Amino acid sequence: MNRTLTPEKSNTVNIISASRRTDIPRFYPRWFAERRKAGVAEFRNVFGGRGSVSLRYEDVLGYLFWTRFARPFTPQLRVLRAEGIPFVFQYTINGYGREIEPHSPALVKAIDDFQATSSLLPSNLCIQWRYDPIVLSNRYPPDWHLENFTLIAVSLKGATRVVNTSFIEPYKKAIRRVGDTSVLFRPIDEQRHKSVAKSRNILEVSFKEGRTLLEQLAAIAQSHDMELRMCSNPEWDILPAAQCCGIELFAPYGEEITNRVNSLRPGPSRASCRCVKTVDIGMDNTCPAGCKYCYVVTAQETAMKNFRMHQPMSSMLR
């Protein structure tokens, strides 16, 4: 029997993350709209258990959207804005080729959309650019990143104040899917060895090379009124640590919202994550974008199948 779960009663409203695990604004705008009408969304957590969260107005502190292209979601953003519900963005633009990001929007298209999305927000502090992950390889050497990063930074000047980055993690899925033996991965340490590849037969970013590149990228960002921050890579402490969900993003919505965000307990999504607690309504294996470094898609065929079979009226994505 496929019963509908009733959200647990709580005195604490939630920030809804949509989603670290898939691109809901780009691929699932109708599903999101239907879930808001129903007042509840269901999901499976990383352990396979089933959960639910209220999307009723009084139970939502705000929304954190993760995307590479928000244009299909514009009607929903206008509804949220009209209802006075805070929303903020983590927006990824990397500019890699199709061999790594086969279905990402063209760079010019993504930049235009970023600017349009920023214009819907009360401040450019409410949207952060993600240049993430950094993939160093024969095809993408440091000089390529400097030129590419500069091009994007020039175009996004004034639309955001923060850019978050990290080096590609050596997750087994990522190593298998990238399929390029010249890629330099984030160095493995003893604290993280269980969650990443067991094999050491991979190349790693040297601290000297990584530091040099990050310092150069930070200088470029600063020259375009942005601050480069490091997301959950504490070994690169030459940069400020990112907080992909926290007070700063929501501050333009006023003191009351800021105080409520500040009252939320920490909710790290991985080691060294500084984010406050959110409830993520996405699900693994539902993003058809096909990015080779993705850690939440087991196989592209699986993600495409789930996307094709998706029912917008369903209580969960799959």
Tens of pLDDT, residues 95-119: 999 999 999 999 999 999 999 999 9
118, amino acid identity? S
Estimate to the nearest angstrom the gap between the alpha carbon of 107 and the chain centroid: 17
Is it the case that residue 10 has pLDDT exceeding 60? no
Strands 87-92 and 127-134: parallel
Is it the case that residue 3 has pLDDT exceeding 50? no
Per-residue pLDDT, averaged over 122-132, amounts to: 98
* pLDDT for residue 207: 93
Is 318 a member of any domain? no
Per-residue pLDDT, averaged over 164-189, amounts to: 91
* pLDDT for residue 266: 85
* pLDDT for residue 205: 96
DSSP string, 34-49: HHHHHTEEEEE-TTS-
Is 92 a member of any domain? yes
* pLDDT for residue 265: 87
Confidence bin at 234 (pLDDT 50/70/90): confident
Is 193 a member of any domain? yes
* pLDDT for residue 6: 45
Strand residues in 214-303 grouped as ranges (E): 227-230, 279-280
- The tally of domains found in the chain comes to 1
Is it the case that residue 288 has pLDDT exceeding 60? yes
Is it the case that residue 145 has pLDDT exceeding 90? yes
Is it the case that residue 235 has pLDDT exceeding 80? yes
Predicted TM-score (pTM) of the model is 0.93
Residue of 229, 244, 176, 232 lying closest to 20 (CA atoms): 244
Is it the case that residue 5 has pLDDT exceeding 50? no
* pLDDT for residue 11: 55
Within 10 A of 273 (CB to CB), how many other CB atoms are there? 16
What residues make up the domain containing 80?
14-309
* pLDDT for residue 173: 87
Is 252 a member of any domain? yes
Helix (H, G, I), strand (E, B) or coil at 2: coil
Measured in degrees and rounded to the nearest 5, phi and psi for residue 259 equal: -65, -35
* pLDDT for residue 274: 85
Is it the case that residue 193 has pLDDT exceeding 80? no
Evaluate the omega torsion of the peptide bond into residue 133 and state whether it is cis, within 30 degrees of 0: yes
Is 3 a member of any domain? no
* pLDDT for residue 9: 47
CB-based contact 15:264 (threshold 8 Å) = yes
* pLDDT for residue 194: 55
Helix (H, G, I), strand (E, B) or coil at 189: coil
